[in-house]
Structure 1
Amino acid sequence: MSMRGSMTLPVPPRKPSDVLTNSVDMTYRQHFFAMFQPSADNKLAIKLFGSVAAVTKERERIASSKHWIIHPASNFRFYFDLFMLIVLLANLMILPVSISFFNDDFSIPWIVFNCFSDTIFFIDLVCNFRTGIINPENSADVVLDPREIARRYVRTWFFVDLISSIPFDYFVLVISIWDDDFAKSQIVHAGRALRILRMAKLLSLIKLLRLSRLVRYVSQFQEIYFLNIAGVFMRIFNFMCLMMLMAHWSGCIQFLVPMLQGFPRDSWVVINELEHAAWFEQYTWSFFKAISHQLSIGYGRYPPQSISDSWLTVLSMLTGAFTYALFIGHASNLIHSLDASRRQYREKWKQVEEYMAYRKLPRPLRVKIGDFYEHRFQGKIFDEEAILGELNDPIRELIINYNCRDLVSSVPFFSHADPNFVTAIITKLKYEFFLPDDIIVREGTLGNKMYFIQEGLVEIYMEAKEPGGQSKIITCLSDGSYFGEICLLTRTKRVASVRAQSCCSLFSLQSDHFNSVLNEYPLMRQALESVAAERLNKIGKDSTIIQRTSSSSQLQTVADLTNTDYMIRPATPFIVDSEEPFGYLRSTSGSPTLIIPSNHWRRSSVVPPTPTIPDAPHVAQAKTNATPTFGLGPSNSQNGEPHETQALLRDGRSADLSSSLDTSRLHSSRPHTTLNAKPLSTNNNSTNDNFEDVIITLSDNRNTAQQVLLPKRR
């Protein structure tokens, strides 16, 4: 039986060194080809495509094209264009000098420079056929098809680049080596003609073209790498460099024309005895003559004597005057735009002056207004709110945190607070400035903001009770203090006045922002309430209003969250912790323990004693209905006696609460009394402005319990 069909040749095992070599080769190959593809660390690629994922997708598109293409956003193209910029600038500076002052010089350095430059330009010509083209209509669309790239390049700048890349100097050098006699007799004139042709070629064609392309790339480079931060100075510097380059070319032409004429006796070169001088001396006087023409300050050392010098002078002056006018206009425009905020301040102040003159304001008031603008804006005006509004939240928070760093570090209330609370507060602060003797807060007015002092000194005082009396100074506050929180916590009028003693930089916080933040951080509310209560006690005011207003605000918040129709509370309650989601209340002045009602029966987990009214009822149950119902239980083991109750409705109507004994022992081992509020009569003289809804008074035959509020949510 033949085994020929199933026989296989043994495969020799691969050596570990071969595997390692292949792996290293593959790594180098990947890194090499990655240079020609867009990279995530290339800012041009990020700008074109927007994200790292989009750059990765573009790399996949290049890999699927199956063509070797240099991407315009690759690192190779970036460094190559930067290198081309340096070579181009060297050619623009060296070639005119060489052609004008070294026309017969075939030295080794000059030959090396020419060969190197022409080789680089030829490599650039080849690379342009393999470099993707960015679509001007859609920057994210890069042409990668080699045929389309070649078609677009041939239709634009290919022939200009081709002519500029032909090595004329190589031909002259080969001819000079091949025929020494011919070189000695003819090479000088041929070389000079070719050099003139090369200069015209470089200056009129490729150099101008490549200069514009590379200038655009430099502008893009500045924008991508954030050099546009100093863009005004960079543009002025670029324009000055362009003026110097124009003067450089003009100076070379000023010497080249007399040289081509064989230095006539009436030429400026012969008059200045420069035909046999050193090249640097010749260039110096040529450059001086060109600068004098461009700035229109003279003709150099001597005025022109020949026709050719006169025409050169006219041409140089016209070019210089045009360039100088462009420079002055461009520079003035840039300087004008550089100081936009100060210019806007001057325009605003001019309007203020015209307004004060129109309204015929008195001189002291005008001085005060001027002081305000001077100290508040310090000579510059900009729309900070609009600037911050254009930024995203993280950057905006960083800026605000930095601007308020002194405030945060100086206010103890902030330095010991939760960082999230501090951030939530300072992002809602508004900067305000006050001059000495400005009344920041006036006693008896409704307040809608509180203030934090960043810099300055304020005086808190109470107005005199009688006309002609002395105001009472309570205290003075300085950097790091705050005031105005009492009216926001109590929702009442200002209890004292505040006057600036010096120039004050304050940050204000609106009441709606104040309440929204404190609702998220109840511990910080308690800290503010504690300070506010101390300040009220200091000026002889009732501090219990802080607790009443606080519980009212939090009860309404809980009612909104639990979607209840009714809730009850004592007149002066405060909130204590509870495991129940709806919480429960207890009064410090002996009022009943209350529970927030919901859409089903609830029972408070704690029924504390009432020290001031021993037999007062405790509200242990609550239920929402069209008619509010409360379950009441006595504080002792005995059955509760009938309670005389009366309700005062929001519209002024009074109502009686009927009582009856209920022994069903709902949720408790104690009997309950159910009271129903029913409107019976109208009493227009009985109103309550402090609350919007129903006030109920519970009492028995011996004592009257605290008032409880029954607000009905609309």
Structure 2
Amino acid sequence: MKKRKHICDLDLGSDSMLPKKTTVPGRACRYLRKLGQLTKLHPETFEHFRSYSAVVAERQRQLLEDGGHVIHPFSIISRYLRRWFIIDLASSLPVAYVVLHMNLDRRLVLVAHFMAVLRVTKIYTVTANVKIFMRIFTESYIVHGLVRLTLLFALTTHWCSCLLYSPAVVHYYWTGTMHGTPTYHMNIYRTESQVQDMQTRYNKALIVALSSFFGTGFTMFRSTAPDEILVHSLIIVYAAMFMVFTLVFLIKSYLTIFGSIMRYQGLMNQVEEYMKYRQFPLSLKKRVRAFYQYRYQERYFKEEADLDCLSEELRDEIKLHTCRTLVHKVKLFEDVPASVVGTVLGCLRPEVYLSNDLVVRAGDIGDCMYFIATGTVAVYSLKGVEVCHLEDGTHFGEVALLMKDSKRVATVVAVEITQLYRLDAHDFNRFVMSNTTLYNRIEALASLRMHETTLLDDAFRRERESQQEQHQSDMMHEVPAPMTEP
């Protein structure tokens, strides 16, 4: 059943609780004030406020405090002012250009350049905002983690590549001269007086950084200076820590994705040990394995435990979705209200029968009926005559529930692995018997099946009697005549 979004017809006013304005400046001011309010569109809002009424109450609290001029702590403006405004301001000011223009000490220029490095501290905010943005599209923890790791890998690889040349930069601004050794800083000198272009230097540094991350080594750029060795060592340590973190995340993701498969394999190991302990024959082992394979499809889960915490309506909706093929094929449910069908489906209990399993036996007391979801069963009469085959979308066992003695009139055997849904007698009497349409259809079908079974039994009885009479007649003709003495 498709759920529609609620469209309220009541005149409850604006949910922002702000008075409406008629002038253009007033409307603009009101819009800016709404930006500072708590919004239900933010992915993290309902982590702190569990209902829409709580959101409205929080908005009312904003208006009552300080005349309504309060920026909510969950709004973007407040968080930005309290955390990152000073860092962004300090890292964005053109201090280096001012220092160069005033011809101040080169060391002050170095400090001014390093002020831009303060932006590195915002990597936490970037990853948090990426997570919030990704929640708009998916709630998967694995997808969020992969996106964050990819972003961190790209950024830190670039930063490590740039950090490799920090000794040269510090040496230049601190001493005012470039290092005289041609092999210094990964051969950045094309000659003793000419420096290689920026793209070549960045490519070399990128190779060193990637080699540190993947542990392949970079012997083509040997480091001899102490400052270079220190920087390379720091990059190697960070790269090793990053790859260990990545490996741990990949292991957790693997356990999350394939957790149900691993639990299924653990369950099957227990079943195998049990069958070995009880010395099951080979044929019985095959049947047990076939049952577990069909029941769980190599993924172990606890269906009852997963559904117990849900509301009754949601469970009925899930049941209706699970049995949608059954609903479409069973003619019994045609033109029956969806609420009645959903209630009946909510009472069904799944059962699996292997090939040649006995489902019901003629003469036994019937306490339920069955709906066939998938598979085929064979129906036999009281005399053992095969009446018919029932396949997907059909049902059986309702005759015994309508008879006074509640006895089965036929034997049903599974022809192949069959998925059945069982409806117990008390649920049958409570829902089916009280619905006129369902009751009339089941009663008509039960009468037809009883009539066909009786005709087949009568035909089988007459055939057996004729065969017996023919057999006795043949025996009489085969009796030898008495011999007379000479």
CA contact (8 A) 1:461 1:472 kept: yes
Give the 3 Å change call, closer, same or farther, for CA 297–463 of structure 1 in structure 2: farther
Are 2:380 and 1:461 equivalent residues in the alignment?
A: yes
Question: Aligned ranges for residues 29-48 of structure 1 at < 5 Å?
Answer: 29-48=29-48
Question: Aligned ranges for residues 292-331 of structure 1 at < 5 Å?
Answer: 292-299=211-218, 301-331=220-250
Distance (Å, rounded) in 2 between the aligned partners of 1:415 and 1:444: 31
Residue deviations 1:284-305 (CA, integer Å, cap 9, x gap)? 2102101212222112523323
Are 2:108 and 1:190 equivalent residues in the alignment?
A: yes
1:487 corresponding residue in structure 2: 400
Aligned to 1:540, the other structure's residue is in SS state helix
Distance (Å, rounded) in 2 between the aligned partners of 1:283 and 1:382: 52
CA shift, 1:404, in A, is 1.2
Give the 3 Å change call, closer, same or farther, for CA 22–242 of structure 1 in structure 2: closer
Question: Aligned ranges for residues 559-578 of structure 1 at < 5 Å?
Answer: none
Give the 3 Å change call, closer, same or farther, for CA 334–431 of structure 1 in structure 2: same
What's the TM-score, normalizing by structure 2?
0.78
Distance (Å, rounded) in 2 between the aligned partners of 1:51 and 1:513: 36
Question: Aligned ranges for residues 218-297 of structure 1 at < 5 Å?
Answer: 218-220=130-132, 222-223=134-135, 225=136, 227-228=138-139, 230-261=140-171, 262-263=178-179, 264-270=181-187, 273=190, 276-297=195-216
Distance (Å, rounded) in 1 between the aligned partners of 2:429 and 2:328: 23
Q: Which runs of 5+ in 1 are unaligned?
A: 1-19, 82-123, 129-156, 465-470, 542-714
Are 2:444 and 1:530 equivalent residues in the alignment?
A: yes
Bigger relative contact order (CA 8 A; separation at least 6): 2
1:215 corresponding residue in structure 2: 127
CA shift, 1:345, in A, is 1.3
CA shift, 1:425, in A, is 0.9
Give the 3 Å change call, closer, same or farther, for CA 214–291 of structure 1 in structure 2: closer
Give the 3 Å change call, closer, same or farther, for CA 399–498 of structure 1 in structure 2: same
CA contact (8 A) 1:289 1:300 kept: no
Q: Which runs of 5+ in 2 are unaligned?
A: 1-19, 172-177, 456-486
Distance (Å, rounded) in 2 between the aligned partners of 1:425 and 1:168: 67
Which is higher, the Rg of structure 1 or of structure 2? 1
Q: Which has the higher helix share?
A: 2
Q: Which has the higher strand share?
A: 1
Residue deviations 1:620-660 (CA, integer Å, cap 9, x gap)? xxxxxxxxxxxxxxxxxxxxxxxxxxxxxxxxxxxxxxxxx
Residue deviations 1:591-622 (CA, integer Å, cap 9, x gap)? xxxxxxxxxxxxxxxxxxxxxxxxxxxxxxxx
Are 2:320 and 1:396 equivalent residues in the alignment?
A: no
CA RMSD of aligned residues (A): 3.0
Give the 3 Å change call, closer, same or farther, for CA 161–30 of structure 1 in structure 2: closer
Question: Aligned ranges for residues 16-31 of structure 1 at < 5 Å?
Answer: 22-31=22-31
CA shift, 1:409, in A, is 0.8
Distance (Å, rounded) in 2 between the aligned partners of 1:308 and 1:278: 22
Aligned to 1:374, the other structure's residue is in SS state helix
Distance (Å, rounded) in 1 between the aligned partners of 2:95 and 2:131: 37
What is the aligned-residue identity percentage?
23
Distance (Å, rounded) in 1 between the aligned partners of 2:186 and 2:150: 28
Distance (Å, rounded) in 2 between the aligned partners of 1:162 and 1:212: 16
What's the TM-score, normalizing by structure 1?
0.55
1:68 corresponding residue in structure 2: 69
CA shift, 1:415, in A, is 1.8
Give the 3 Å change call, closer, same or farther, for CA 167–356 of structure 1 in structure 2: closer
How many residues align? The count is 425
Distance (Å, rounded) in 2 between the aligned partners of 1:72 and 1:221: 19
Aligned to 1:499, the other structure's residue is in SS state strand
1:648 corresponding residue in structure 2: none
CA shift, 1:52, in A, is 2.6
Distance (Å, rounded) in 1 between the aligned partners of 2:438 and 2:313: 24
Distance (Å, rounded) in 2 between the aligned partners of 1:359 and 1:307: 71
Distance (Å, rounded) in 2 between the aligned partners of 1:163 and 1:502: 70
CA shift, 1:434, in A, is 2.3
